[in-house]
Structure 1
Amino acid sequence: MSTRPLTLSVLDLVPVRSDQSTGDALAATLALARTADDLGYHRYWLAEHHNMPAVAATNPPVLIGMVAGATSRIRVGSGGVMLPNHAPLVVAEQFALLEAAYPGRIDLGIGRAPGTDPVTSYALRHGAGGVSDEAVTRFPEYVDNVLAMMDAGGVQVAVQGRSHPLRATPLATSVPTIWLLGSSDYSARLAAEKGMPYVFAHHFSGSGTAEALELYRSQFRPSAELAEPRTFLTVNAVVADTQEDADRLALPQLLAMLALRTGGRLAPQQLVEEAEKVEVPQAHRGLLDAMRSRWVIGDPASARDRLEMLAATYGVDEVMVHPVAGSWTGTEPGRSPAREQTLRLLAAAGA
């Protein structure tokens, strides 16, 4: 464990509440990103999910361009691009352009999961020319392709006995930092083998984190880009002035995750007052409590202490906070004040 102070970053799925349009949710994300930038958070990552009523983060490159353009210093990246949904050249082109526009500020996090339901996954891959599991099977090769095509020298492609140069952008002077993401040991092994930085989806899974990180660290092979293992922790967090307010603000996202895990109806995120009217079936209360126990929910001092403890437990000096606080009735649609407050209170508690 490093003795350096804890570094904080942000993960954003661009949640859509029941009182918001997609445009409102995007405005709230830009306000949250500016807050993180002003407070000194290190990086701001945006997820890729498709066909979900409560998530507007469908296109990380577009969102990254918006957030990078609205901020001044924070690193901005994908958490992550789901590579099997896209042609490797397209991903390489998108992030090479982002890096050219915002040099030294772009991260490319790559994942192997579909980030959606099977029908939407079929539609995504059919549109890209692939309708089988080939893209998942060839994931390691596709990662290599992205890495190679973003290099300033590009790659040489042999076609009919002739060699053709292929570059993501004509004259790159830098490349994004490329991370592998995962929620199982598969990506941990692959990242270790390739000498790449790696992040386990602790905020989503909540179990298996220690095993995945130990596997990554123990099998890591140094590369030209990375001499030693590099990772951080992702955590769902709700921080408010009091424990009671934090518990109430966490409820809408807890219920949304409960519906996702139990096959319930997915809908835009409820307001706090709406969520408090929901009667959770007895059979699901254990799962709800288990999820709550893995999240950081509390007042500033206790929440900051919990983050420090988690960082020490998993041997990291950076924690990426996923601020999942809901909103009260009457909240301005284009803002998410409780999410902004989570970032402010955590930053102030560590000052």
Structure 2
Amino acid sequence: MSDSHPALSVLDLVPVRSGQTSAEAVAASLSLAQRADELGLRRYWFAEHHNMPAVASTTPPVLIAAAAARTSRIRVGSGGVMLPNHSPLVVAEQFAALEALAPGRIDLGIGRAPGSDPVITQLLRMSGTTSDVERFPQHIRDIRAIVSPEGATIEFASGGTYDVHATPAATTAPEVWLLGSSDYSAQLAAALGLPYVFANHFSGEGLERALDLYRSQYRATDAHPEPRTFLTANAIAAPTAEEAEERAIPQLRMMARLRQNRPLVALETVEQARAAASDFDALGDQIMAGARAKWFVGTGTSVAAELRAFADRWGVDEVMISPVAGSYDDEPRDAAPGRAQTLELVSSALS
């Protein structure tokens, strides 16, 4: 392991715990974004998921705007906008406006997955041809052009052109990242010369192949002459390893519910999760054990050491953690002490 210190960033799904309102969950996440800014972290991204009892990050642009207004230096962005759910022009306009609100601090992370179940996906994609997944590569190109200060030019088959700008007088543009968990996304990012993030926090399967494809097939551009990537990971840090393991239980149980297609509920508190520990079968226990083996859970010192080794192994200078620490019953509902201490302890140990 080298003496390098990878930059630390945050991925936030705006978790909603039992007894917590959406307003309280959002308040907790915005407070966490402020803390990340104070700690000197590199970027803070909001995910896009829909119709889930334990996840309030349904609209990344809205959350990004709120976080940008409460921070001063950290980059804020989407991890990511699920592009087939939206019109490319609307996405371009939203992020051009965000760039105007916080110049030089906006990341537009784009993904191809739906972020929800088939019913919600259908409701989101009622816009027609703009939701054609097969046109995803062209939609990426369109967004990059439209958000640029130069804008995009449409050429009509019958002759003539039409200029399109996401905002009237841009001087800067959000940085576009391509996100994914498959060979497809890695190869597309390489072909387009875009920064790329593999969604390692989902399962970790396929990471080596995706990075190899991205790096070996990368086509340099003026904006990005070299391939650029970082890694995502689930992490929990606490003053003691025992507390960290306890705070992992609610999210591990949520993972088991997802994988077994059980009804989803708001995230349990640590006490609720411990009280219901016997309601999973052997397969559920196996799912939780498999997930836990890929997470970084422990004291700030141990988690930082593991993240540093993780970054060294894969040759990256940044790790984006999803701080998945659960809450205890008596902790305030409009704050996230477990997630905040994860950022505090890990960033301190990495510095």
TM-score w.r.t. length of structure 2: 0.97
Structure 1 equivalent of residue 333 of structure 2? 333
Long gaps (5+) in structure 2: none
Deviations 1:69-100 (A, max 9, x none): 01111000000000000010000000011111
Going from structure 1 to structure 2, the CA distance change for 1:4 and 1:170 (only over 3 Å counts) comes to farther
CA contact (8 A) 2:96 2:147 kept: yes
* Map of 2:79 onto structure 1: 79
For residues 350 and 222 of structure 1, what CA distance do their matches in structure 2 show? 31
The answer to whether structure 1 residue 233 and structure 2 residue 231 are counterparts is yes
Q: Which residue of 1 aligns with 2:289?
A: 289
Contact conserved, 1:64 with 1:76, CA < 8 A, in 2? yes
Equivalent residue number for residue 67 of structure 1: 67
**Equivalences for 1:1-351 in 2 at 5 Å?**
4-126=4-126, 128-130=127-129, 135-159=132-156, 161-278=159-276, 279=278, 280-351=280-351
**Separation in structure 2 between the aligned mates of residue 206 and residue 258 of structure 1, nearest angstrom:** 16
CA deviation profile, 1:201-224 (whole Å, cap 9, x unmatched):
000121111110111000001012
Partner Cα separation in structure 2 for residue 135 and residue 48 of structure 1: 18
Counterpart contact for 2:197–2:229, Cα < 8 Å: yes
Gaps of 5+ in 1: none
Q: Which runs of 4+ in 1 moved over 6 A?
A: none
Count residues with an aligned counterpart: 348
Kept in 2: contact 1:2–1:316 (CA 8 A): no
When residues 220 and 3 of structure 1 are mapped into structure 2, their CA distance, relative to the original with a 3 A threshold, is farther
Equivalent residues of 1:192, 1:216 under 8 A apart: yes
Please say if residues 193 and 219 of structure 2, whose CA atoms lie closer than 8 Å, have aligned partners that are also in contact: yes
Question: What is the RMSD computed on CA atoms of the aligned residues?
Answer: 1.4
The one-character-per-residue Cα deviations of 1:174-227 (angstroms, maximum 9, x if unpaired) are 001100000111110000011100000000121111110111000001012100
State how far apart, in whole Å, the 2-side matches of 1:40 and 1:63 are. 20
Contact 1:61 1:94 in 2 (8 A): yes
Change (3 A) 1:282 1:4: closer
Classify the secondary structure of the residue corresponding to 2:44.
strand
Amino acid at match of 1:313: R
Q: Which moved more, 1:274-283 or 1:312-321?
A: 274-283
Q: Report the Cα distance in structure 2 between the residues aligned to 1:318 and 1:157, rounded to whole angstroms.
A: 38
CA spacing shift, 1:186–1:223, aligned 2, 3 Å:
same
TM-score, length-scaled by structure 1 = 0.97
CA distance, structure 2, for counterparts of residue 5 and residue 250 of structure 1: 25
User: What is the distance in 2 between the residues matched to 1:29 and 1:301?
Assistant: 24
Offset at 1:130? 4.5
CA distance in 2, matches of 1:153, 1:209: 36
Distance in structure 2 (CA, Å) of the matches to 1:300 and 1:150: 40
Contact 2:203/2:291 (CA < 8 Å) preserved in 1? no
Q: Aligned AA for 1:96?
A: A
Report the AA paired with residue 110 of structure 2: I
CA shift, 1:2, in A, is: 9.1
How has the CA–CA distance of structure 1 residues 246 and 136 changed in structure 2, closer, same or farther, with 3 Å as cutoff?
Answer: same
CA contact (8 A) 1:2 1:315 kept: no
Contact kept? 2:18, 2:267, Cα under 8 Å: yes
The answer on whether the counterparts of 1:12 and 1:323 sit within 8 Å (CA) in structure 2 is yes
Q: Distance in 1 between matches of 2:129 and 2:339?
A: 38
Contact 1:34 1:70 in 2 (8 A): yes
Percent identity of the aligned residues? 53
Distance in 1 (CA, whole Å) between partners of 2:63 and 2:140 is 22
- 8 Å CA contact 2:200, 2:233 repeated in 1: yes
Q: For 1:89 and 1:3, locate their aligned partners in 2 and report how far apart those are by CA, in whole Å.
A: 44
Contact 2:5–2:308 (CA<8 Å) still a contact in 1?
no
Q: Give the match's secondary structure for 1:205.
A: coil
Distance 1:249 1:269 in 2: 11
C-alpha separation between the residues in 2 aligned to 1:32 and 1:271? 18
CA distance in 1 between counterparts of 2:163 and 2:313 reads 47
Q: Distance in 2 between matches of 1:329 and 1:96?
A: 41
Match of 1:139, SS state, is helix
